């Protein structure tokens, strides 16, 4: 499923815990191969809120007690969702009357951000360094989702990019369009302006090479 990354920066950072199986494998790796304790993890970062990247958050938090950090944009998205929610029940009620009986209780607009906001302890702003790990910078990268972010280390030329960039089985980098083409094009422009030699995608294999985003495809 989704890739989970572990950054060894004296203390450990986990990026995208993924599934509970990922969390189990990660904790085994930390203890058996690194001979460290899960409590050496001092930060959990979510690149975005898709469930294949976040399902194991509570399982990981219960073993390491580390705070969970994600994009500040989620606060605005949750607020927007709540404002839409005040209008939508009336539409849902009307739709409910028009739809056949079994669909009356179908949730047409599940409040994804409003629920998931409770997972998050720390809010990450564009360009800011990660708490206690200032070499790792947050790069807001809306496109795949509005709250997507990448993490960039300008000293090691590494970019962790969540689902903003994935790699296909042949190893080619691909940006998958979300709902906002302009945002994704702007994100690609920003990411291409960074010096990157190590690109770690949310799905697929890492790409090691000179400027791996120069030949990235965009799929709409």
Question: Of 99 and 119, which has the nearer Cβ to Zn ion?
Answer: 119
Contact status: 16 vs Zn ion (CB under 5 A): no
How far is the C-alpha of 95 from the C-alpha of 91, rounded, in Å? Answer: 6
Tokens of 39: 């409590």
Question: Of 54 and 153, which has the nearer Cβ to Zn ion?
Answer: 54
Q: Whole-number minimum distance, CB 127 to Zn ion, in Å?
A: 22
How far is the C-alpha of 79 from the C-alpha of 206, rounded, in Å? Answer: 35
How far is the C-alpha of 106 from the C-alpha of 208, rounded, in Å? Answer: 46
How far is the C-alpha of 189 from the C-alpha of 24, rounded, in Å? Answer: 37
CB neighbours of 36 closer than 8 A, spacing ≥ 6? 12, 30
Strands (E), the chain: 5-9, 11-15, 41-45, 68-71, 122-124, 129-130, 133-140, 149-153, 158-160, 166-167, 173-176, 198-200, 207-208, 217-219
Q: Whole-number minimum distance, CB 163 to Zn ion, in Å?
A: 4
Q: Whole-number minimum distance, CB 148 to Zn ion, in Å?
A: 8
Size of the site for Zn ion (CB under 5 A): 2
Tokens of 104: 């009356």
Question: Of 2 and 27, which has the nearer Cβ to Zn ion?
Answer: 2
> How many residues are there in the chain?
220
How far is the C-alpha of 214 from the C-alpha of 208, rounded, in Å? Answer: 13
Question: Of 51 and 96, which has the nearer Cβ to Zn ion?
Answer: 51
Q: Whole-number minimum distance, CB 144 to Zn ion, in Å?
A: 6
How far is the C-alpha of 110 from the C-alpha of 216, rounded, in Å? Answer: 33
Return the residues of window 153-182 that contact Zn ion according to CB under 5 A. Answer: 163
Tokens of 45: 């970062």
Q: Whole-number minimum distance, CB 162 to Zn ion, in Å?
A: 7
Return the residues of window 27-56 that contact Zn ion according to CB under 5 A. Answer: 50
Q: Whole-number minimum distance, CB 191 to Zn ion, in Å?
A: 16
Question: Of 47 and 92, which has the nearer Cβ to Zn ion?
Answer: 47
Question: Of 9 and 180, which has the nearer Cβ to Zn ion?
Answer: 180
Q: Which residues bind Zn ion (CB under 5 A)?
A: 50, 163
């Amino acid at each position: 499923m989704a890739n989970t990354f572990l950054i060894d920066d004296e203390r450990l950072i986990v990026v995208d815990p993924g599934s509970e199986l990922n969390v189990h494998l990660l904790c085994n790796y930390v203890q058996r191969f690194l001979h460290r304790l899960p409590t050496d993890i001092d930060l959990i970062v979510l690149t975005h809120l898709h469930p294949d990247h976040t399902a194991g958050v509570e399982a990981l938090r219960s073993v390491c007690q580390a705070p969970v950090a994600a994009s500040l944009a989620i606060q605005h998205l949750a607020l927007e969702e709540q404002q839409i929610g005040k209008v939508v029940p009336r539409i849902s009620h009307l739709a409910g009357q028009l739809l056949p009986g079994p669909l009356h209780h179908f949730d047409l607009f599940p409040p994804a951000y409003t629920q998931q906001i409770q997972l998050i302890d720390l809010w990450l702003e564009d360009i800011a360094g990660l708490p206690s790990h200032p070499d790792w910078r947050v790069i807001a990268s809306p496109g795949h989702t509005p709250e997507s972010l990448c993490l960039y280390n300008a000293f090691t030329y590494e970019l962790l990019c969540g689902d903003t960039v994935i790699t296909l089985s042949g190893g080619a980098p691909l940006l998958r369009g979300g709902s906002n083409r302009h945002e994704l094009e702007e994100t690609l422009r920003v990411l291409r302006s960074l010096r990157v030699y190590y690109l770690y995608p949310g799905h697929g294999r890492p790409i090691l090479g000179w400027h791996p985003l120069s030949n990235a495809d965009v799929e709409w």
